[in-house]
Structure 1
């Protein structure tokens, strides 16, 4: 059995409950082997092409898995289920978010306040519901009145489209890296954007910076450099995985963030005087004290959690997360 067959078995069984995967994988492996042998014996394929031809003959792995697991792919009928699912997931992945963002931008330009957030979310949800309804309706009509086109032909499926086998060590580390880099980019963008004002007063956005402008003399460039180091460290973790040395570097990076931020806040140098002048009249002394405690506790808790998370990952020999649920961390490497 080659990697191509392994990828086919993985694609066919990955959406099934864990209790069914082994049995189905064995059955499919036997069926693939029998099909390969039959094609060679009949002269329908050469030994070099028999495996690929056998997988094409068996068809799309998701369709084949559905016939084994008593889970029919039904919209109105099974013929167009996979095409409908692929299109719907594609549209829902970006259309609602794009419409919501465009709506939010238009409302902000028109002078909207915090209500922009609620309005944008509501419009995004509405668009998502309409997309699901109208897409499903179109496919229901196609199912009822369309021709009997073969699903594999419609999907244009070939064995080359099979997913790569997951890495035994870190099955989701690329997703971790992308998520980390996106959030770091957002954080860096926020540090720059806040300087131009993010405060709404009397329903209008004002040019009041959140952080004190004199921090640009050192501390804000320091935080931007720290974000760059965090991005480089994330790439390093992606390439090398967690170990004790990386865990100690992670602790140092978190300390390098938390200590200056808490110190600047306690010294009253973190937020700009203009921002405090807008906010303080809206708060009494008790509210200010509670918010101050929550801010310091939040910074310390976030940094401590991330540092401890890295230590736990290193202690477990690497992996995606610290919680024990399927897919959250990979098994330790087994030495032969």
Structure 2
């Protein structure tokens, strides 16, 4: 088994739960070996090109994995699913944000106030929904009426074995970058908690000594947040050393809840922001703007913490992060250590 086959197995199994990964890897490895032998014996390929030709014959690893794992790509149909998915993700990544930004600019230039926040959010969501609907409809029509002239998914994607991802040869390369990013953001968060105490408003071109958060929070809740930041930093180091599992995922959920619940509660009770800050911005906000900003703040905190929790659970389900997958031929040091 060569590195090219290893890369194919890695690409085919990396999105599967750990329980299915080993069996599928073994079956695929046997099928690839049989296909290589058959091509050499029949003279269809030379020994030097047989492996590459066999992988081309098997097709895109994601399509093959779907057929093996009882997860058919049937939203559009296996023929066009990956093309539809790639195009939709590409368009959704920038079109709604671009339209929302253009809308915001137009409203600001026309003299709009805080009410533009709700309009911009609604516009972005509407564009995202319409984009998903119409792209899906177009592919559904292609799926229904195409007679074969368009070609297979491999042809549409332009897939070849040369596009297979590289094997994770170095242990924890992604976890090191994750650790650095986590520690940097936690340090920034701690710095902002201190910096906000000295004023976040500029009046007449000069910063005013109006804190963002209520000074009374220094009696308990702000030190609590500093302790939570320290625990998050320690947890990030622990994840770097041990990788994701169910126990770590549950700890991650607990840490997220320990941040979200108090912050949202303090905000709802009117104890999070300082009275001086609220008094300074009150003339610029009407009731609707305050309501919209409150919903955005609560929803944003809840969404960020929920996403962080779900991300940890997904990594635990997959048996860890990238670079720690157990599949035949994986040369990662972690497998060797087992």
TM-score > 0.5 by shorter chain? yes
Aligned 8 A contact 1:254 1:304 in 2: no
Aligned 8 A contact 1:169 1:319 in 2: no
Matched, 1:327 2:315: yes
How far apart are 1:163 and its partner, in Å? Answer: 2.2
1:309 aligned partner = 232
d(CA) in 2 for partners of 1:295 and 1:105?
A: 39
CA 1:312/1:69 → structure 2, altered by over 3 Å: closer, same or farther?
A: closer
Q: What are the superposed Cα offsets for residues 82-104 of structure 1, whole Å, 9 maximum, x if unpaired?
A: 21111111111111111112211
CA 1:261/1:36 → structure 2, altered by over 3 Å: closer, same or farther?
A: same
d(CA) in 2 for partners of 1:317 and 1:4?
A: 28
Q: What are the superposed Cα offsets for residues 53-111 of structure 1, whole Å, 9 maximum, x if unpaired?
A: 11001011111112212222223533211211111111111111111122112222222
Matched, 1:119 2:119: yes
2:49 aligned partner = 49
CA 1:294/1:96 → structure 2, altered by over 3 Å: closer, same or farther?
A: farther
CA 1:87/1:173 → structure 2, altered by over 3 Å: closer, same or farther?
A: farther
d(CA) in 2 for partners of 1:289 and 1:170?
A: 38
| Number of residue-to-residue matches in the alignment | 256
CA RMSD, Structure 1 to Structure 2 (Å): 4.0
CA 1:298/1:135 → structure 2, altered by over 3 Å: closer, same or farther?
A: farther
2:89 aligned partner = 89
CA 1:273/1:311 → structure 2, altered by over 3 Å: closer, same or farther?
A: same
Matched, 1:158 2:160: yes
Any gaps of 5 or more consecutive residues in structure 2? 250-312, 325-332
CA 1:66/1:272 → structure 2, altered by over 3 Å: closer, same or farther?
A: closer
d(CA) in 1 for partners of 2:161 and 2:116?
A: 47
Q: Which has the higher contact order (CA 8 A, sep 6+)?
A: 2
Aligned 8 A contact 2:36 2:50 in 1: yes
Aligned 8 A contact 2:200 2:212 in 1: no
Q: What are the superposed Cα offsets for residues 173-227 of structure 1, whole Å, 9 maximum, x if unpaired?
A: 55776x77xxxxxxxxxxxxxxxxxxxxxxxxxxxxxxxxxxxxxxxxxxxxxxx
Question: What is the TM-score normalised by the length of structure 2?
Answer: 0.62
1:40 aligned partner = 40
d(CA) in 2 for partners of 1:290 and 1:89?
A: 38
1:261 aligned partner = 195
